[in-house]
Structure formats: C-alpha cells, structure tokens
Amino acid sequence: MFEEKLLYFYKSGLSYWHLAIKHFLKRFFVWLIIVAFVFLFLKIFLENLILYYVILVVAVPLSLILICMKPIWKYTEEKYDCIYPDRDWDIFLCAALKRYHYKKVNAEQTEESLVFLISRLTKRLESMSKTNILSLISNSLTLTLAFFIPVWSAFNTWWFKDVNDITDVFQYMLWVIVVPFLIILILKGFFWNFILKDIADSEVTKLSSLIEKLEIIRFSIKNPYYYKKIDQYLNKKGTEIDLIIKEFDERYKNYASDPLIRLFKNARQKLKNKKSNKIKLFNNDVK
C-alpha cells in the first residue's frame, strides 16, 4: 500500500543516517581511535582525577565537532541547503515528501490522497501507541525505578567492598555524581541532538512526525503564502530531491517488511551489481 511505502521513504530514504552520517563512517572511526588514545594517555600519565575528567570532557566533544560534525554540517549545507536538526531541515523533509507524493499521485487527487494518508497513518499511530513497549517504559516511573534500584544497589556493594580510606570515598563520589553528569551532558548535547535522535527515534515518534509534515503539506495547498518556503526550497533543490527519490525507488525494489530479509535482498543485489560491472568491464577490455 502507498502509505506503507511513504512511511518507509520517510524512515529510510529521508533518514539523517542515510542522507548524511553513513558517508562519514570513516571519520567516526578515526574519532573513536583518538578518544581511546586520549583516554589511555591520560589514564597512564595523569594522577589528578579532577583534571583528568575536565580534559576528557573537553577533548571528547571538541574532537567530535572538528573531526565528524563540522564536515557533516558542511556537506548537508552544500547538498541540502540545511543543517540537522535546524528548523530548515524540517522544511527540506516537507519539500521531499511533497515532491514524492506529487510524483506518485494524480495532481487532481492530491488533497484527497493527503486526507486519506493522514487518516490511515493516524489510525496506525493510535494502534501502535497502545502497544509500544518503549513508550510504556519511558512513561512509567515505577518500572524505571524498579529496574534502576537493583543495579544501583549492586554497584554500591561492589564499590564499597574494598573501600579502605577517604580517597576511595572521594573517587566513589566522582564516579556516581560527576561522571554520570558529564556523560549525560555529552550524550544529550552532542550525540543525541546531532547524531542519534533521528536514528534512535521510535516507530511511533517517526510516524507522528510524518503525519505532522503531511498535515503541513495539506494546509499549504490552499494557503501557499503560509508555507511558501516549501515551494521555494523545491525550486532551489528540486533536482537533489529527485535524485533522492530515484535512489530510494531503486532500493525499494528489494523492500521487505522484515529487516533481516531486506538486508539479505540488498546484499544479494549488491553482489549481482558487482558481477554485472565486472562482466561489462571484461567485455569492454575484449573489444
């Protein structure tokens, strides 16, 4: 069904991972090596724990920005004229969805099909929201505490087992107060906002986001001045969006609802393409 394909286009074809991050995996690997090197170097040669954590907290985000994020921001700004998760990124997604929808639906039935899609996807969202385990856990303080307390108790027992002096107590305070705070700060400020959010969003969150953008597109049909940025963006980056759609349609030929089957089909297709390219090169050499 079309709504199924549209949802997959939004989750896969327009994902931040597919559009940007996957092109910079080597840089992330280099960044991990640098962080590991800094961590080991400081662990060996630095005895002052406070200075150790301060340097580590500065080195991790700074190296992440310089090695990974800055090139990604430059790449997306040049290619898509926006930077994730800036507001313009949502305009880009709306423009891509609008172009994709127009390509697949009769122009005279555009608004009607949008109403149908929004209705169908809203019903699916309601159904998924009732049964989504991640949503239930995240909204239940009782379940969270029930999981957290035994882990915390076990950590305390393990830590205080060999405590002998005030130095051990001081180190404990660093580990349970300072380190978690710094980790949360780094994860929230850098990894979550700029890398993980789009990738880690649940099915419910992505479906809700898609419905919201379809509603914006529907409203803009009769109110062009309300959301004219979408059409302005299409005029400027329409060719790039067409390439994204074309690439997605090629991948969708191997689509399967089960991710493992989809992975198998994609891998098989890549092998076929490689063999086909080798045969073409061989035939060209023979000629």
With beta carbons less than 8 A apart as the criterion, state whether 121 and 214 touch. Answer: yes
Mean pLDDT of 30-59: 78
Residue 274 has pLDDT above 70, yes or no: yes
Average pLDDT, the chain: 78
Mean pLDDT of 102-129: 84
What is the tens place of the pLDDT at every residue in 239-262? 999 999 999 998 888 777 777 787
Residue 185 pLDDT: 65
- Entry pTM: 0.75
Residue 137 pLDDT: 47
Mean pLDDT of 269-284: 74
Mean pLDDT of 162-167: 54
DSSP 61-111: HHHHIIIIIHHHHHHHHHHHS--TTSHHHHHHHHHHHHHHHHHHS-GGGHH
Residue 139 pLDDT grade (very low, low, confident, very high; cuts 50, 70, 90) = very low
What is the tens place of the pLDDT at every residue in 61-97? 788 888 888 999 999 999 999 998 888 999 999 999 9
Distances (CA, A) of 68 to 32, 62, 82: 10, 10, 17
Return the domain boundaries, the chain: 21-83, 87-140+202-252, 259-287
Residue 241 pLDDT: 95
Structure tokens at 212: 């919201």
With beta carbons less than 8 A apart as the criterion, state whether 198 and 84 touch. Answer: yes
Residue 173 pLDDT grade (very low, low, confident, very high; cuts 50, 70, 90) = low
DSSP 141-156: HHHHHHHHHHHHHHHH
